[in-house]
Structure 1
Amino acid sequence: MTKDELKQRICESVDRRRSQIEGIGDQIMVNPELGFKEFETAKLVANTMEEFGFQTETGLARTGVKAVLKGKNPGPTVALIGELDSLGVADHPMVNPETGAAHACGHNAQIAGLMGAMMAIADTQAGEELAGNVVFLAVPAEEYVEVEFRRDLVKGGEITLLGGKCELIKQGHFDDIDVAMMIHTHSDSTMKKTGVSTSSNGFVSKLIRFVGRAAHSGGSPHLGINALNAAQIAINAMHAQRETFRDSDAIRVHPIITKGGDIVNVVPAEVTMETYVRGRTKEAILDANAKVDRALRAGAMAVGAKVEIETLPGYMPLANDATMVDMFEQNSEELFGEDELTKVGHRTGSTDMGDVSHLIPAIHPMMAGASGPGHSRDWHISDKEMGYLGPAKSLAMMAVDLLYGDAEGAKAVMENHDPLMSKEEYLAFQEGVFRTEVYDGETGTSEVES
């Protein structure tokens, strides 16, 4: 069987499995689960894999699921990836009212696409034409939410890093993978049916707590230390740094106040905040992070409060592999016609696929099928052909391109790729980000714990 014939049969299989694939995507859409809590979604994935004759590994980084198809001949290992988790969007029409979880970013479509690719590869017995292995990997916790919950998992020894793929790297589940890819749904009306960036931002995360002194807000505010004022000054100080951020570094700092006080007639004694510090390179992120820390200390100093600054590792910047981008573009043309791929340069969001891309060749392209702004109440799958079936076909076709024959495609990708970090360097960097500083604004002294 030629490569083109195999790819055609894969696409036909996806079309035959349409109702099953769409059913998976729809079922996950109405049963959203937040990161590191995707137990029911993981169960659905494992059951589907086992239905098609695969042995599964479950409970990877709490909820991850893995199955492996072995090709007829030995060769490289290609991972096809889908993300299990949802966001928290409280006003989404399909929100879980108990948890606030909602699919407003398309991870339900990723899993539908991953399962569709698995079905088609199994249906066509594609492994008989491949040299190497295909790993179907459903991963937890890409959306970096509920940061305190994840921090507590780290403190409790259940995980060591706060993102799903990051933790899978740490646990060794990417050690035997040579090439990886996934496809993310998009709802951008300015983009064509498919899209791919050159790169995207990474970030570090921060949990911040200002501690003041309570007092009667009307009768004796002079006896208090207003932690909310300290936080407001710190936020303004962050804004004052923005002109120092170089455009080329794509810095994004977006703090929120998660607690602003207790009751209105008491001077706020405790105020908590969260923020990301995003940037195009790890050097730019660390530089901006130091400026944010300076702003936080300034807020505490201004009113004589204390500030606890806990910095946590986030995600590395994404670097899409150029050789794989070319392959994806060719498949986009086969599936959707010429001129249906948008190349968008650098993007300022973040993904833990960036961490994978620092170690091995990886690609994180986008495919239409959704409407409404991402991460909003209006986001939904509006075109199941593009949202569910398109990714299934594209993932499976890429696996064939990489491993068909003697795996010439994967070997070319690997030969042309220069890793940005070794696993040891990556873990040393991420684990080195952990830092807690307690700064006393009255005395100007700090205590630091790494």
Structure 2
Amino acid sequence: MASREELKRMACEAIDKNREKVIEIGDSIFAEPELGYKEFKTAEKVKKAMDEIGLKYESEVAITGIVAPLKGKKSNARLAVMGELDAVVAPEHRCADKITGAAHSCGHNCMIAALMGVAYAFQNTGIMEELSGDIVLMAVPAEEYVEIEYRNELKKQGKIHFLGGKQEFIKLGAMDDIDMMIMQHSTPNDARGLCGIPNAGNNGFMGKLIRYIGKEAHSGGAPHLGINALNAATLGLTAVHMQRETFQDKDSIRVHPIITKGGDLVNVVPADVRIETYIRGANMEAIIDADKKVSRAFKAGGDAVGAETVITDLPGYLPMNLNYDLMDIMYENMIDLFGKDKVEYEGAHMSGSTDAGDVSYIMPTMQSRIFGITGVGHSSNYEISDKELAYIGAAKCLAMTAIDLLYGEAEKAIEVKANFKPLMTKEEYLKVWGKL
């Protein structure tokens, strides 16, 4: 039996051997971004790469998702390694889709590159025959919680239940036989010259659709006969802003609405105005408190002008439940790969959100952060500046951590699972969060 360190060396060598392929798929996805539940070209690229190495998979999981299991010599534990397929909207980015405005300004292409690096590390290398657990590679759709109205229509049509891809994986049973999940997320470089952080907390949030229904009239000839829904929205948004001083810093509350429809014609009193927003926060108690204030504020806008206010609440993402056992293992591998001075154990709380938080309520979960990016996330200047770090280094960190978890009799994985106390069972999650 090969030693743990020998297996890690073999895995890293396999990733290096396939370095150009890893970079190629990362760059190809970067060049052709797609939004959530629409990642058809991206999924085809992943399937083609898996086909080339004979990796069997299930496709069209949650519309575009892919699940590819790798069997160990025993199945004492099952570890999911995830990457995300979708892009965000940044229409001014040099690689933005000209029609949709989608751009990979959040590094999800790096996730898929790293995921394929893990596939190259374990498929056809003999390493799985040395491990006492299974690895399940998952390319997951729709992490970015965007186009809320569109996704809500998919939900009404019965095509999805949740607006987020990992949430939908939970609902569909793709996580039922999984014991724990690891993944990584690319992050912009900072002045300290760091290469990685094992994990960091994230806000959770609730999604919200607000529709103001007024009454049409000629805006120049007889505006007094109408009810201006845009005025209702203006008042509602102002009332939301008036709530901000009541949000406590410790709760990291973020409310950031956009108007997705402001009326129909300039010479008609707006009678159909629509808003999308999140209510983000570091804990569910604070999110629920802020949500009540925001709902009250939006309703006040409609009441003030006599418009009807229709508010639709949607389950967003849960705050990240940090797993320090997994963080410890990833930390040691980052040190081995990058050097101790290049790794910070735990970064500052992130006010952004991820549906990895939902997984973390049910099973041990880790989303490490790997640097190698310049620019600002979700913006037009986001670029992959260090592919050796963002693609190759990320893949090696994930593969090495998987080996640590599943080596021997998979004692580490078994220990991590035994130490974990779920905040929700799947059944509780679907009942409490899925039917918000």
> Structure 1 length as normaliser, TM-score?
0.93
- Deviation per residue, 1:150-202 (Å, 9 max, x gap): 11111111111111000010000000000101110001425621124442111
1:260 aligned partner, one-letter code: G
Q: What corresponds to 1:411 in structure 2? A: 414
**Does the 8 Å contact 1:142/1:351 carry over to 2?**
yes
| Partner SS state of residue 120, structure 1 | helix
1:134 aligned partner, one-letter code: I
**Does the 8 Å contact 1:71/1:130 carry over to 2?**
yes
Q: Does 1:132 align with 2:133?
A: yes
**Cα drift, residue 125 of structure 1:** 1.3
Alignment of 1:207-222 (within 5 A): 207-222=209-224
Q: What corresponds to 2:257 in structure 1? A: 255
Alignment of 1:50-61 (within 5 A): 50-61=51-62
**Cα drift, residue 385 of structure 1:** 0.2
Q: Does 1:396 align with 2:425?
A: no
Relative distance call for 1:62 and 1:320 in structure 2 (3 A) is same
Q: What corresponds to 1:24 in structure 2? A: 25
2:362 aligned partner, one-letter code: L
1:145 aligned partner, one-letter code: V
**Does the 8 Å contact 1:402/1:409 carry over to 2?**
yes
> Structure 2 length as normaliser, TM-score?
0.96
Q: What corresponds to 1:285 in structure 2? A: 287
**Does the 8 Å contact 1:197/1:346 carry over to 2?**
no
The whole-number CA distance in structure 2 between the counterparts of 1:101 and 1:355 is 25
**Cα drift, residue 223 of structure 1:** 2.4
| Partner SS state of residue 362, structure 2 | coil
Structure 1 stretches of 4+ with a deviation exceeding 4 A read none
Q: What corresponds to 1:445 in structure 2? A: none
**Does the 8 Å contact 1:71/1:133 carry over to 2?**
yes
**Cα drift, residue 313 of structure 1:** 1.1
Structure 1: segments with no counterpart, 5+ residues: 434-450
Aligned residues: 433
**Does the 8 Å contact 1:320/1:364 carry over to 2?**
no
**Cα drift, residue 219 of structure 1:** 3.6
The whole-number CA distance in structure 1 between the counterparts of 2:88 and 2:128 is 35
Alignment of 1:299-338 (within 5 A): 299-338=301-340
- Deviation per residue, 1:390-427 (Å, 9 max, x gap): 11101110110100011111112112211111011111
Q: What corresponds to 1:149 in structure 2? A: 150
**Does the 8 Å contact 2:84/2:142 carry over to 1?**
yes
**Comparing 395-404 and 205-214, the one that deviates more:** 205-214
| Partner SS state of residue 137, structure 2 | strand
Relative distance call for 1:190 and 1:177 in structure 2 (3 A) is farther
Q: Does 1:119 align with 2:130?
A: no
**Cα drift, residue 276 of structure 1:** 0.5
Relative distance call for 1:419 and 1:155 in structure 2 (3 A) is same
1:251 aligned partner, one-letter code: I
Q: What corresponds to 2:88 in structure 1? A: 87
Q: Does 1:355 align with 2:358?
A: yes
1:427 aligned partner, one-letter code: L
**Cα drift, residue 359 of structure 1:** 0.3
The whole-number CA distance in structure 2 between the counterparts of 1:188 and 1:232 is 38
Q: What corresponds to 1:344 in structure 2? A: 347
Percent identity over the alignment is 51
Alignment RMSD (CA, Å)? 1.4
**Does the 8 Å contact 2:206/2:280 carry over to 1?**
yes
